[in-house]
């Protein structure tokens, strides 16, 4: 496996008026690895996601995406969210954003949207190509549901699902876009221990299939057991990076999370 | 305790209504005889009436709450029509009966009835067009009538100046309206909800005001008359058979519309529209081009309005700006809301009810708008999802081959 990073972010800066939410941030993800982005609340983790997925336009900095197989790297700067997804970054949301009045299967089928192309003409006349494409969408969506263990819920409305399953569906939907890199924004938020455990299992399984994952998470147990590398942010800056072991002992990280020792 | 409280509430509400309707119901001024008649008995009727209506409404609300709990336990509650449509045999019988009724309609009933039905069918198509924009893509459009006007004037002007026939202009009118749909779509791409509603409302008024005031172009408020009726290979119809011919033409257009809209709804594009309605941010994050999807919704919705505009001009042989007021937009929107957003069967039913009912209740025509408002308020309380709510398509999956079951 080449050591070339899939995602390469250099000097990413984001200002909201006078507030610098991200300050010259560097981050890279290599293919096949799970990278975690952690930091206290308000550190700018979700802002970072929003910047690289095109929801915000960063003030400065470069975002590069490199497809595997020695292809040329693509700049994601200035692309719209849908274009970013097309290039190969798919994300989930911190607060679940499913299409609640659509079935589970349809939610995943939406993920296939950017990899298919039937349009008005095909929809009305149901040409052979369109029918074939619909079949493919159905099959691959169903396969993804099976992979995340939700095939039994296929015809259920998304908002009827239990919380943990909704999180899973978000992951399934993102996977359906065939991402080079999967971005998970606090996938374990609000989950009970059992749900977290099964999520951990799922993420590991996806990762085993070679999927690169960038993960924002507060659950330290989950982060430590899953990630190959960890980036720590505080006040929009990267304060540390390294393996879970290194991070655990890093004084700057401890300071950010627990505060400084004060002389009594 | 609860009963006393309810009684108190009912009494209070009826008192309030007596107060509200006091000037209209009680005082009668006769300017000729210069007398003022006080009709106190009306106040009493009002009080009793409101009191009773309040309790009936309460009763249904309670019933609805109980039903809700029951249906949540059972899962989805399917309406009778959905049950019929899901069973292939019953569906074929249902469609067959409808087809026979549709064909025989003008033979059995008078030209007047046929004409009324043609109008209702036009609103079916208009409703289905707006349903794409409002019901599927979730873009609240209060200026839909503008596209109707564009279609109507396209035919009126082309016929007036160049003598073009109905069938030539039919697609031109549709495309013209679709173009206007895109023109409206561009500036409002970023808007949502209330803001979108206001801008589209403004757009509808702009079109009407332009038509009213640009005399050299549209002949202003006096309108354009003597527009040709739909032709049939050069055959000249008398008025009677022309009405019947228009009716059949309308039936065909309705069938085509239902066919096309149904297929659009069940396609990749239709899914994208619904996703857009559900959550715009997530929709974009899933790789759907928001701009393109919205514009297509606007233009496809407008297309049907344009087609119907041409039809309208041909049917009435006269257009003027007064036909394209905000009220028309409101009626079409009511059709979609009443029928059930996103549901084709619902919209068809909604259009027939909302357009036919006022025609047959002409005796009560003074109270038309009152009844209209009352119906909509009741709908919002008792059945916010519309007469027939849309059931999302489910897909049955067999091994490596798939069979999709339409609703």
Nearest C-alpha of chain A: how many angstroms from B289? 6
Pick among B258, B282, B287, B299 to test the A interface (most A CBs inside 10 A): B287
Q: What's the gap in Å between the CA of A173 and the closest CA on chain B? A: 8
Portion 231-270 of B in contact with A at CB < 8 A? 260, 263-264, 267-270
Q: Residue A157: beta bridge partners?
A: A103
pLDDT > 70? residue A127 = yes
pLDDT in tens, A143-165: 999 999 898 888 888 989 999 89
- Annotate chain A with three-state secondary structure: CCCCEEEEEEEEEEEECCEEEEEEEEEEEECCCEEEEECCCCCCHHHHHHHHCCCCCCCEEEEEECCCCCCCCEECCCCCHHHHHHHCEEECCCCCCCCCCCEHHHHHHHHCHHHCCCCHHHHHHCCHHHHHHHHHHHHHHHHHHHHCCCHHHCCCEHHHCCHHHHHHHHHHHHHCCCCCEEEEECCCCCCCHHHHHHHHHHHHHHHHCCCEEEEECCCHHHHHHHCCEEEEEECCEEEEEECHHHHHHCHHHHHHHHCCCCCC
Nearest to B37 by CA among B51, B47, B48, B26: B26
CB pairs under 8 A between A and B: 126
Q: B272: which chain A residues are within 8 Å (Cβ-Cβ)?
A: 110, 113
Q: How far is B394 from chain A (nearest CA, A)?
A: 6
CB < 8 Å to A120, chain B: 264, 269, 296, 300
Q: Residue B89 phi/psi, 5° resolution?
A: -65, -50
Task: Give the residue from A218, A263, A235, A264 showing the smallest Cα distance to A252.
Answer: A235
ipTM: 0.90
d(CA B395, CA A62): 43
**Token code pair at residue B264:** 């659009």
Helix, strand, coil distribution of chain A in percent, nearest 5 = 40, 25, 35
Query: Tokens 């330290």 correspond to what residue?
Result: A220
Contact check, Cβ <8 Å, B264/A98: no
Contact A155 B395 (CB under 8 A): yes
The yes/no answer on whether domain A1-88+179-264 falls in CATH 3.40.50.300 is yes
Set of chain B residues whose Cβ sits within 8 Å of the Cβ of A174:
286
pLDDT by residue (tens digit) across A5-49?
Answer: 889 999 999 999 888 999 999 999 998 899 999 988 888 899 999
Question: A81 and A53 in contact (C-beta within 8 Å)?
Answer: yes
Distance CA A126, CA B315 (A): 33
Contact (CB<8Å) B289/A142 = no
> Chain A partners of B270 at a C-beta cutoff of 8 Å?
123
Q: State pLDDT tens for residues B72-104.
A: 544 444 567 777 777 778 888 888 998 999 888
The single residue listed with the structure tokens 């049955």 is B396
Asked whether A223 and A36 are in contact (CB, 8 A), the reply is yes
Q: Which residues of B204-224 are buried (b: 16+ CB within 10 A; e: fewer)?
A: bbebbeebbeeeeebbeeebb
Predicted confidence at residue B74, as pLDDT, reads 47
Mutation site, B181, B259, B282, interface A, largest A CB count within 10 A: B282
DSSP A237: E
Mean pLDDT, all residues of chain A: 89
> Does the CB of A74 have a partner CB in chain B at under 8 Å?
no
Domain ranges of chain A: 1-88+179-264, 99-177
Give dist(CA A204, CA A211) in Å, integer: 10
pLDDT in tens, B30-74: 888 888 888 888 888 888 888 888 888 888 888 877 776 665 544
Name residues whose C-beta falls within 8 Å of residue B106's C-beta, 6 or more positions apart in sequence.
B114, B243, B244, B247, B248
Residue A179's pLDDT is 92
Residue stretches of chain B with pLDDT short of 50: 73-77, 398-407
With contacts defined as CB-CB under 8 Å, which chain B residues touch A175? none
Q: Do B278 and A100 touch (CB under 8 A)?
A: yes
Q: What is the pLDDT of residue A261?
A: 67
Chain A CA closest to residue B257: A124
Q: Show residues of chain A in contact with B297, CB under 8 Å.
A: none
Residue B60: how many CB atoms within 10 A of its CB? 14
With a CB-CB cutoff of 8 Å, which residues 367-406 of chain B face chain A?
A: 392-395, 397, 400-402, 404
Structure tokens at B166: 């109905």
Of B279, B397, B400, the CB nearest to A99: B279
Q: What is the largest CA-CA distance in chain A?
A: 79
**Residue A78's pLDDT band (cuts 50, 70, 90):** confident
Tell me the chain B residues in contact with residue A105 when contact means C-beta distances shorter than 8 Å. Answer: 394-395
The nearest CA of chain B is from the CA of A107 a distance in Å of 8
**Nearest chain A CA: its distance from B347 CA (Å):** 19
B263/A81 CB distance under 8 A: no
Identify the pLDDT of residue B45: 87
What domains lie within chain B, and their CATH numbers? 2-74 (no CATH), 109-396 (1.10.3470)
A101 interaction partners in chain B (CB closer than 8 Å): 274, 278, 392
Kindly determine whether residue B392 and residue A157, on different chains, have CB atoms separated by under 8 Å: yes
pLDDT of residue B270: 92
Give the gap in angstroms from C-alpha B198 to the nearest C-alpha of chain A: 26
Partner B contacted by A85 (CB < 8 A): yes
Pick from A103, A105, A113: which is nearest to B272 by CB?
A: A113
Which of B275, B300, B397 is facing A138, going by the closest CB pair?
B397
For residue B266, the chain A residue with the least C-alpha distance is: A123
Mutate which of A79, A124, A172 to test chain B, going by most B C-beta atoms within 10 A? A124
Among B71, B72, B268, most A C-beta atoms within 10 A, so best to mutate, is B268
Please give the Cα distance from A84 to A88 (Å, whole number): 7
Distance (Å, rounded) from C-alpha B57 to C-alpha B189? Answer: 41
- Comparing CB atoms, the residue among A82, A102, A119 nearest residue B287 is A82
Question: How many Å is the Cα radius of gyration of chain B?
Answer: 24
Q: Which of residues 155-184 of A touch B (CB under 8 A)?
A: 155, 157, 173-174, 177
The predicted pLDDT at position B116 comes to 92
Summarised one tens digit per residue, pLDDT across range B207-249 is: 999 999 998 888 889 999 989 888 777 677 788 888 999 999 9
């Amino acid at each position: 496996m080449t050591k070339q990073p899939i995602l390469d972010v250099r000097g990413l800066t984001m200002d909201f008026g006078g507030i610098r939410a991200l300050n010259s941030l560097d981050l890279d993800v290599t293919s096949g690895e799970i990278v975690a982005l952690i930091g206290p609340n308000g550190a700018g983790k979700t802002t970072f996601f929003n910047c690289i997925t095109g929801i915000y336009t960063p003030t400065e900095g470069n975002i590069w995406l490199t497809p595997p197989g020695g292809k040329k790297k693509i700049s994601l700067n200035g692309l719209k969210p849908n274009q970013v997804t097309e290039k190969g970054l798919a994300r989930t949301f911190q607060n679940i954003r499913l299409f609640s009045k659509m079935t589970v299967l349809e939610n995943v089928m939406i993920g296939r949207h950017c990899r298919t192309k039937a349009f008005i003409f095909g929809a009305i006349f149901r040409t052979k190509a369109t029918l074939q494409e619909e079949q493919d969408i159905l099959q691959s969506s169903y396969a993804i549901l099976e992979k995340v263990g939700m095939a039994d819920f296929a015809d259920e409305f998304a908002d009827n699902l239990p919380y943990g399953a909704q999180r899973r569906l978000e992951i399934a939907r993102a996977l359906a876009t065939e991402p080079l890199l999967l971005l998970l924004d606090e996938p374990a938020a609000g989950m009970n221990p059992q749900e977290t455990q099964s999520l951990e299992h799922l993420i590991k399984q996806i990762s085993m299939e070679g999927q690169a994952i960038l993960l924002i998470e507060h659950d330290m147990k989950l982060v430590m057991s899953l990630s190959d590398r960890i980036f720590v942010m505080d006040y929009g800056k990267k304060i540390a990076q390294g393996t879970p072991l290194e991070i655990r002992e890093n004084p700057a990280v401890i300071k950010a999370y627990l505060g400084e020792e004060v002389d009594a | 305790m609860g009963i006393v409280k309810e009684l108190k509430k009912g009494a209070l509400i009826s008192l309030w209504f007596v107060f509200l309707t006091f000037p209209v119901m009680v005082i009668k001024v006769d300017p000729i005889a210069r007398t003022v008649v006080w009709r106190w008995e009306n106040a009493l009727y009002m009080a009793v009436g409101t009191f009773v209506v309040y309790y009936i409404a309460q009763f249904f609300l309670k019933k609805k709450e109980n039903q809700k709990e029951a249906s949540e336990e059972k899962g989805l509650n399917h309406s009778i029509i959905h049950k019929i449509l899901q069973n292939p045999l019953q569906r074929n019988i249902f469609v067959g009966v409808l087809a026979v009724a549709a064909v025989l309609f003008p033979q059995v009933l008078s030209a007047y009835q046929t004409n009324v039905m043609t109008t209702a069918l036009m609103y079916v198509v208009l409703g289905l067009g707006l349903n794409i924009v409002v019901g599927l893509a979730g873009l609240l459009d209060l200026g839909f009538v503008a596209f109707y006007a564009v279609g109507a004037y396209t035919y009126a002007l082309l016929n007036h100046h160049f003598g073009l026939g109905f069938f030539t202009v039919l697609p031109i009118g549709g495309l013209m309206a679709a173009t206007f749909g895109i023109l409206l779509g561009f500036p409002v791409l970023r808007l949502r909800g209330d803001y979108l509603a206001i801008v589209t409302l403004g757009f509808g008024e702009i079109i009407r005001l332009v038509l009213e005031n640009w005399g050299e172009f549209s002949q202003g408020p006096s309108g354009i008359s003597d527009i040709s009726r739909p032709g049939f290979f050069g055959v000249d119809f008398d008025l009677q058979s022309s009405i019947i011919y228009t009716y059949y033409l309308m039936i065909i257009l309705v069938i085509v519309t239902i066919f096309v809209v149904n297929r659009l709804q069940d396609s990749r594009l239709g899914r994208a529209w619904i996703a857009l309605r559900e959550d715009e941010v997530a929709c974009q994050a899933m790789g759907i081009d928001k701009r393109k999807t919205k514009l297509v919704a606007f233009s496809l919705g407008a297309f049907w309005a344009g087609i119907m505009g041409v039809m309208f001009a041909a049917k009435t042989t006269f257009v003027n700006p007064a036909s394209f007021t905000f009220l028309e937009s409101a009626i079409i929107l009511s059709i979609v809301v009443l029928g059930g957003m996103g549901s084709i069967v619902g919209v068809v039913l909604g259009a027939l009810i909302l357009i036919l009912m006022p025609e047959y209740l002409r005796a009560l025509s003074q109270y038309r708008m009152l009844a209209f408002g009352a119906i909509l308020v009741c709908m919002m309380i008792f059945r916010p999802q519309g007469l027939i709510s849309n059931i999302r398509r489910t897909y049955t999956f067999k091994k490596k081959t798939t069979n999709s079951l339409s609703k």
